Amino acid sequence: MKSDLLMVVKDLSVHYPNRSALHKISLEILANEAYIILGPSGCGKTTLLYAIADLLTHKACVEGSRIAPRPLKKSLVLQDYGLFPWKTVLQNVMLPIELETRKDDKASERAMFMLKHLKLDAHLDEYPSTLSGGQKQRVALARSWVIEPDLLLMDEPFSSLDALTREQLQEDVLTLFNQSRMSMITVTHSIEEAVLLGRHILILSDEGTLSHEIINPTFNLERARENEAYYEQCIEIRKLLKEDQYEKTALPL
């Protein structure tokens, strides 16, 4: 196995009691890489993310394998932040450290660095109810980063934020990604977000198969939104999604 391999997913299929969600998905997840899961609504993006995170409900029947050559530290960021309302910003961020059995002397220092970087240092003792959506999502990001995960999993993390806040947070994620050695997997509906945050773009079809796995040459491009190559890549991805849709609806000759 390659030394920088975090996980090998082989022939993964997931069946819920009333329907199947994924069909024979195979992929490799490498260290220090950025992955996107993109596809139409209901195609199984969240199911794939949860399968990788090992968080599928007990009702899901899973076939195939997910093999990690070494134990992985994983963190999950959800669309609705998942903060504890009775804990302050700092307490929310430090929670995963408290739950760890291993002593981590540098954790407080790391948490403070993260909170400062994400411009939350003036809100340490505030409760989530007093924060804006963007601030809450920053707390969730800081919390997921503080344990220095091998794999950061994000389920539509910015979809409930306004456009400017979303853009700022996407920049924050890229900066933190570039300063770390982790891999991240982001589920999104947005082609623009996919091209911004993913070097590997995995496109699922309506039937829950992996229809395309694309290497995005514009990933990590400086000031991507001011660059033509970024928009050309968005157009390419949009074409592939439309072709998938067309193939599905085309009448047989």
Which residues in this chain contact ligand ATP in the complex, by CB under 6 A? 16, 19, 21, 39, 41-47, 57
Task: Specify the residue, 195 or 204, whose C-beta has the smaller distance to ligand ATP.
Answer: 204
**Shortest separation between residue 34's beta carbon and ligand ATP, angstroms:** 19
Task: Specify the residue, 21 or 146, whose C-beta has the smaller distance to ligand ATP.
Answer: 21
Strand order in the sheet with 5-15: 20-30, 5-15, 61-67
**Shortest separation between residue 195's beta carbon and ligand ATP, angstroms:** 18
**Shortest separation between residue 213's beta carbon and ligand ATP, angstroms:** 17
Question: Cα separation of 214 and 200, whole Å?
Answer: 6
Residues 6 or more apart from 201 whose CB is under 8 A from it?
Answer: 35, 36, 38, 194, 195, 212, 213, 214, 216, 237
Task: Specify the residue, 19 or 70, whose C-beta has the smaller distance to ligand ATP.
Answer: 19
**Shortest separation between residue 245's beta carbon and ligand ATP, angstroms:** 14
| Angle between helix 133-145 and helix 163-179 axes, rounded to 10 deg | 10
Task: Specify the residue, 47 or 211, whose C-beta has the smaller distance to ligand ATP.
Answer: 47
**Shortest separation between residue 138's beta carbon and ligand ATP, angstroms:** 23
Q: What angle do CA 41, 250, 201 make, to 5 degrees?
A: 40
Question: Cα separation of 206 and 85, whole Å?
Answer: 37
In angstroms, the first-to-last Cα distance of the chain is: 45
Contact between 37 and 186 (Cβ < 8 Å) = yes
Question: Cα separation of 70 and 8, whole Å?
Answer: 11
Task: Specify the residue, 186 or 218, whose C-beta has the smaller distance to ligand ATP.
Answer: 186
Task: Specify the residue, 57 or 129, whose C-beta has the smaller distance to ligand ATP.
Answer: 57
